[in-house]
């Protein structure tokens, strides 16, 4: 009797289940996916990125298919955002939905399976690691403590440029900027100052360069899991494994040095020392902070923290060499305030609106990271009437947004004046200019330390360079010969946008009264 009752109950509810099921299917079919270019079987749209300049490829496609565009890279669905309006909706209105990170091969390897702050999955653990970054590593007080190191490194660089200028040979400014930021990271990160010919410095640079290349590398298994064996045959996995071991060994040597009670004072209160202190403080609590956590956090500092400032300074100098009126105006602003003593104080830095405008305009035209760190949706979402399903990779083309004619007048022109009477900033509140991202997965401490420190490196360095030297093009070179070609990147992993060809200039030491 009970079996018949169950069968009767099943027959009774079956129509309602079927109606619900087919209604859901019909609803999903009625939901429109964002428009996008048709893909090929199996590989989807992967073939459209052979130029290896994703920010340009994506803008060209978005001009045809719209600022909210869908692609398919192998088996991985992707949505590309190329307008400030849609970026605001995704990163502010629906920030939580867009707070995931895709588990790409290189991300997982270098972050020790998401133990850092940049690549950990969204949740309680990520909030704890972000708190560590914002409160302990990137606080305003901590950033200000790095200022003497920055001043010392820039002073040494000024002396070097002065010596090089005497030889009347072009100075490779691109190379000098990379060396500057690399030296800063060595001192700020783990309290070591290396000479240019120091074996350990060369080792650090070599390992770091390989890490940055692999970090932005293309791994077939990220998009075509059935062909993951290709990464093994191509050598990409072996390179990744070797570099990861080299980095781990480098980290461990630094940790061992910092654990030595007789370590030099320079190794006290640097970033690694702070992380070790946190580990010791949490050793008796439920929050387990291991050496793997520390190494993952160091990765964020090393790989993400070295390239952006050097690229920003190089692009700013490139743009000003192309626009002599801007160069002359900013030099006059700095020199009038600094005067004869040659010391650029915090008070002076706060009174340089045109230099601020130059930096913002450089961020706009040449964002160091043109395609922001990929996100991933953690649930289904409706954006602008289009359906974006969970586990979709989200690409935000900050480069295209910052050149959108709907937001900017004459967007291809370098015009710092556009920022002189504008409240637009780079801290993630103005979505037409988001070089550091926005929302909860933007750069940690974006409104405080990260943007302030990254910008201050560029601002202090540029202020001294523009005060101390008059810059000219090499003999025989004209303004129209200055190129703004970008180095080839790799699709969809974060990669800093450097000049394809180094910026080489002539420097002449400035003295008061020579105008």
Residue 383, Ramachandran bin (φ over 0: left; ψ between -120 and 50: alpha; else beta): beta
CA–CA distances in Å: residue 472 to residues 147, 155, 327, 476: 29, 21, 11, 11
Give the strands of the sheet with 469-472, arranged side by side: 171-172, 504-509, 469-472
Question: SS3 for 163-202, per residue?
Answer: HHHCCCCCEEHHHHHHHHHHHHHHHHHHCCCCCCCCHHHH
- CA proximity to 320, closest of 458, 456, 435, 428: 458
DSSP string, 371-387: BPPPEE-SS-EEETTEE
Residue 504 annotated as part of some ligand binding site: no
Q: What is the DSSP code (8-state) at residue 1?
A: -
Chain centroid to Cα 253, Å, comes to 27
Question: SS3 for 498-514, per residue?
Answer: CECCCCEEEEEECCCCC
Strand partners, 470: 508
Q: Dihedrals φ, ψ of 107, to 5°?
A: -60, -45
Cβ burial of 160 (10 Å; 0-12, 13-18, 19+) is middle
Chain centroid to Cα 105, Å, comes to 18
| Binding site, annotated residues for heme | 443
| Binding site, annotated residues | 443
């Amino acid at each position: 009797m009970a079996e018949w009752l169950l069968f009767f109950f099943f027959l009774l509810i079956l129509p309602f289940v079927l109606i619900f099921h087919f209604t859901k299917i019909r609803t999903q079919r009625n939901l429109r996916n964002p428009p996008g270019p048709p893909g090929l079987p199996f590989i989807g749209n992967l073939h459209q990125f052979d130029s290896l300049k994703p920010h340009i490829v994506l803008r060209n496609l978005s001009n045809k298919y719209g600022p909210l565009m869908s692609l398919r890279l192998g088996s991985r669905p992707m949505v590309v955002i190329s307008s400030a309006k849609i970026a605001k909706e995704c990163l502010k209105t629906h920030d939580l939905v867009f707070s995931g990170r895709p588990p790409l091969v290189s991300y997982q390897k270098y972050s020790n399976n998401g133990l850092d702050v940049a690549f950990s999955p969204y949740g309680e653990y990520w909030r704890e690691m972000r708190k560590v970054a914002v409160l302990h590593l990137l606080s305003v007080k901590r950033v200000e403590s790095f200022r003497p190191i920055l001043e010392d490194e820039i002073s040494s660089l000024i002396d070097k440029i002065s010596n090089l200028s005497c030889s009347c040979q072009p100075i490779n400014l691109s190379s000098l900027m990379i060396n500057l930021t690399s030296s800063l990271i060595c001192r700020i990160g783990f309290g070591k100052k290396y000479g240019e010919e120091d074996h350990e410095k060369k080792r650090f640079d070599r390992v770091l360069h390989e890490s940055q290349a692999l970090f932005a590398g293309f791994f077939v298994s990220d998009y075509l899991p059935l062909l993951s064996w290709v990464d093994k045959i191509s050598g990409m996995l072996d390179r990744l494994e070797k570099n990861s071991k080299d980095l781990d060994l480098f980290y461990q040597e630094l940790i061992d040095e910092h654990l030595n009670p007789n370590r030099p004072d320079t190794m006290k209160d640097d970033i690694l020392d702070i992380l070790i202190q946190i580990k010791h403080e949490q050793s008796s609590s439920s929050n387990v902070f291991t050496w793997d956590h520390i190494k993952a956090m160091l990765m964020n500092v090393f790989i993400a923290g070295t390239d952006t400032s050097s690229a920003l300074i190089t692009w700013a100098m490139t743009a000003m060499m192309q626009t002599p009126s801007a160069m002359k105006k900013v030099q006059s602003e700095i020199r009038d305030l600094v005067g004869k003593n040659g010391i650029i104080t915090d008070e002076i830095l706060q009174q340089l609106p045109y230099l601020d405008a130059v930096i913002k305009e450089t961020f706009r035209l040449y964002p160091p990271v043109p395609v922001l760190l990929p996100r991933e949706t953690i649930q289904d979402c409706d954006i602008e009437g289009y359906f974006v399903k969970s586990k979709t990779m989200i690409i935000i083309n900050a480069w295209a947004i910052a050149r959108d004619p709907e937001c900017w007048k004459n967007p291809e022109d370098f015009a710092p004046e556009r920022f002189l009477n504008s409240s637009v900033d780079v801290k993630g509140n103005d979505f037409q200019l988001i070089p550091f991202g926005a929302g909860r997965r933007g750069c940690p401490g974006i409104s405080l330390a990260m943007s302030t420190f990254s910008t201050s490196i560029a601002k202090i360095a540029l202020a001294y360079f523009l005060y101390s030297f008059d810059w000219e093009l090499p003999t025989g070179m004209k303004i129209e010969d200055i190129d703004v070609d970008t180095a080839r990147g790799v699709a969809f992993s974060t990669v800093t946008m450097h000049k394809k060809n180094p910026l080489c200039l002539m420097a002449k030491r400035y003295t008061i009264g020579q105008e």
